[in-house]
Structure 1
Amino acid sequence: MAEENSRSKKTIPPYMKAISGSLGGIVEASCLQPIDVIKTRLQLDRAGAYKGIAHCGSTIVNNEGVRALWKGLTPFATHLTLKYALRMGSNAVFQTAFKDSETGKLSPQGRLMAGFGAGVLEALVIVTPFEVVKIRLQQQRGLSPELLRYKGPVHCARMIVREEGVLGLWAGASPTVMRNGTNQAAMFTAKNAFDTILWKKHEGDGKVLHPWQSMISGFLAGTAGPICTGPFDVVKTRLMAQSKSVGELKYRGMFHAIATIHAEEGLRALWKGLIPRLMRIPPGQAIMWAVADQITGFYERTYLTNAPL
């Protein structure tokens, strides 16, 4: 029993979690950027210009070229790398704080709280400003630099700060906090549950999942969040896309945006872009966890299970 308790207290340090998450984020961003561009265009489409995912993608390619599907890749990739590093590292810190001091075990409630805390932190520090820049770039149509308001991510950020103030980079922060906090609480809890149920994998046991096993667990864990948080994601996108420099703001905040969208476009509009979100987030989680689990699994096997107790 003493040996079991001692081993259960040995965990992967937060910096290793951060490294594994950042590397997974780079791979994910490179693979899935086109789906994110399509999702953003669908969420911003109030006039019904796009008839669906395939029509939106083909319209972008026909009118703007294939490269347009990778608009905003630089801030998206940077944002994912930093976001996953902060998410994985802070979640590890929060989990340590919520563990029982005697047994070293983490309760389901503690796991949920740790995930929610990590989601709130990433939303405020990383996600909101990067997504504001990304969405402003993605909503621009065309590829000719002279026709574009924003010439790139740095120019876009500078324009927002100059015209709207520093807080302009945190437009839509409230729904982003709600979306990310809820998403990460569900995701970390579900990933741990699927690892245990499907593969009998427990953190710190030294067992390294095969990449396909990690992908299945990550994919399943990534499905619930988009369905539950669809309205927050749509509102976040609308709030981030509007600029104070081009006239009066249509939406005055999260609750006003929800009410306005519901009144003008119907209840289903609050889940616009859900299918491309489901096409991007679960596969993204599958890719990220496949990379992250290999790194943390190697660390567990090398430094935890072989270390003297």
Structure 2
Amino acid sequence: MKEFQSTRDLQMEEAKKTIPPYMKAISGSLGGTVEACCLQPIDVIKTRLQLDRTGNYRGIVHCGASVSSSEGVRALWKGLTPFATHLTLKYALRMGSNAVLQGAFKDSETGTLSNRGRVLAGFGAGVLEALVIVTPFEVVKIRLQQQRGLSLELLKYKGPVHCAHTIIREEGLLGLWAGAAPTVVRNGTNQAAMFTAKNTFDVILWKKHEGDGKVLQPWQSMISGFLAGTAGPICTGPFDVVKTRLMAQSRDGDDAKYKGMSHAIRTIYAEEGLRALWKGLLPRLMRIPPGQAIMWAVADQITGLYERRYLHPAPL
């Protein structure tokens, strides 16, 4: 009986060992930087497709080829600076805040985290990143990406800083938070699903439990991250389309086509049909799951090394 109690106490102590939020934040920010550099062209194509109301582009390949031929290959990396900065800060906030919220939802006696607590922590992290980082950075990114042409003199926005300054001057500070409502819904749902799914796939596929000291191989993290990043885009497609449309339109007058999230959904459905609410889904699936695969491959290595060195050091 004493041996059973001792084993149980040891398991509880192991469960209480957690990686500090700042390490989660660092791992996420580094993973986000690598992801942005690799996948920016897919994000540009997704944005162009979502803003295409007249059928100029006949799919992903045609869109990418058209942008490259008319604007140069470098145009596929338009908006990289705000995108990379936004991903680095977003993942740092997402991973760090999720770690803090998970700690708050853990059982104080056993140190275990329920599935409900994991979902709530992920949703809270998604809402926080949407309001603090994602919305203003994506407004700037989308405004830059929707511009067509090669001559800098003819473009309304000359760069990310100029774009942000112009939006604030013409539309007020809240112009940087255009499309905030669908972004909050999208990100909260995405992160609730993603963190829960990533943990589930780690356990099912690799018998990896958080805090157990086991370091996944990068290819294992990539598989779990890819699978975890697939469900969100399918579920939140309409919110992503609406977010993009609201962010792309100027708010400096009363002639804005879309008056808000609900009005945008109704208008797009009435004018373009149900399928239009999932425009850009394929490039999203080409970007988000691979992006999560890249991010988790980097993040898991960093947090895994921390676990092995500080939480489960090898005996001397």
Using the size of structure 1 for normalisation, the TM-score is 0.99
| Structure number, greater radius of gyration | 2
Could you tell me which residue of structure 1 aligns to residue 212 of structure 2?
205
Query: Which residue identity does 1:61 align to in structure 2?
Result: S
Alignment check: 8 A CA contact 2:308 2:314 kept: no
- Once the two structures are superposed, the pairs formed by residues 242-281 of structure 1 within 5 Å of their partners are 242-245=249-252, 248-281=255-288
- Once the two structures are superposed, the pairs formed by residues 106-117 of structure 1 within 5 Å of their partners are 106-117=113-124
Could you tell me which residue of structure 2 aligns to residue 216 of structure 1?
223
Q: Distance in 2 between matches of 1:247 and 1:241?
A: 15
Q: Does 1:187 align with 2:200?
A: no
Offset at residue 3 of structure 1 (A)? 1.1
Q: Distance in 2 between matches of 1:176 and 1:307?
A: 44
Could you tell me which residue of structure 1 aligns to residue 68 of structure 2?
61
Query: Which residue identity does 1:57 align to in structure 2?
Result: G
Q: Distance in 2 between matches of 1:241 and 1:275?
A: 20
Q: Distance in 1 between matches of 2:147 and 2:313?
A: 54
- Which of 284, 298, 303 is matched with 1:296 structurally? 303
- Once the two structures are superposed, the pairs formed by residues 101-180 of structure 1 within 5 Å of their partners are 101-180=108-187
Q: Distance in 1 between matches of 2:166 and 2:80?
A: 19
Offset at residue 245 of structure 1 (A)? 3.1
Query: Which residue identity does 2:185 align to in structure 1?
Result: M
Query: Which residue identity does 2:244 align to in structure 1?
Result: T
Query: Which residue identity does 2:255 align to in structure 1?
Result: E
Offset at residue 147 of structure 1 (A)? 1.1
- Once the two structures are superposed, the pairs formed by residues 35-74 of structure 1 within 5 Å of their partners are 35-74=42-81
Q: Distance in 2 between matches of 1:307 and 1:12?
A: 17
Two-structure CA RMSD over aligned residues (Å): 1.0
Q: Distance in 1 between matches of 2:150 and 2:76?
A: 11
Q: Distance in 1 between matches of 2:251 and 2:210?
A: 47
Structure 1 residues without counterparts, runs of 5 or longer: none
Q: Distance in 2 between matches of 1:190 and 1:160?
A: 37
* Stretches (4+) displaced over 6 A: none
Alignment check: 8 A CA contact 2:214 2:308 kept: yes
Aligned to 1:245, the other structure's residue is in SS state coil
Offset at residue 305 of structure 1 (A)? 1.1
Could you tell me which residue of structure 2 aligns to residue 7 of structure 1?
14
Could you tell me which residue of structure 2 aligns to residue 196 of structure 1?
203
Q: Distance in 2 between matches of 1:54 and 1:242?
A: 26
